[in-house]
Amino acid sequence: MSHNVDEIRQIVRRVVLRTLQGAGGIEPGGSETSHRAIVTAEEMGRVEPGTKIEVPTEALVTPLAHQVAMERGITLAPASAAPSETRPASAQGYVVAIGCDHGGFEMKEDLKAYLEELGYRSLDCGTHSTEAVDYPDFAFAVARQVADRAAFRGIIIDGAGIGSCITANKVPGVRAAMCYDQATAINSREHNDSNVLTLGAGLIGPNLARQIVKTWLKTDFGGGRHARRVDKIVNIEQRYLKSR
């Protein structure tokens, strides 16, 4: 049984789609075009050699398209993300608001110095000693800097990290995540686009705290299906605000 060129292309396309679906590229029940754009080798063949093109983060690039791009010297770069998803190419000059209660003071001071080592500018929202204070005051101070876009991200430290996380999440525009290892730091950024990190100084040591902070700051938001879910979180927040 013979096929013309167009029929062969359609067959190959269906095979590629099934392969990608099996690898998790397309969600079960999705159509060929309902979830993601597909970059094909044919399209790469129409691009001028040596060109740099932006590809949407959720797009699927076929293996043959990658090969053609490499052979033609074409650079495939992620498309520019929305402001809330963007991580700076260089940390230089980006402000990270940081705050704590009395239980997190020593860790905050250590992380301030570490942020400077990484190239960020820290905005210290207090507290400034080990004298007993109330964590909601300082969690709110950090969250407000992030919500007002005075800071790129925010970090809050208290004894367990839970209370500050609850407080920060009361501020519209803030998605705070309490992280206790590098895996949760990655997940909170890739899946939830978190912009505030809370840490429990009574639960983790200074070295692990540094690892979590570095991982959290350097991990990009995953976009794609995660973007749809984060949008739903934002919509819940907006619906509640409008109903008041």
- For residue 156, the cross-strand partners are 99, 198
Question: What is the Cα–Cα distance from 107 to 112, expressed in whole angstroms?
Answer: 9
Q: Of 66, 128, 191, 226, which is the active-site residue?
A: 191
Helix H or strand E encompassing 95: strand 95-100
| CA dist 162 → 66, 178, 182, 203 (Å) | 44, 7, 17, 11
Phi first, then psi: give them for residue 198, nearest 5 degrees: -115, 140
Q: Is 35 a catalytic residue?
A: no
DSSP string, 32-72: TTTS--EE-HHHHHTSPTT-EEEE-TTPEEPHHHHHHHHHT
Annotated catalytic residues are: 191
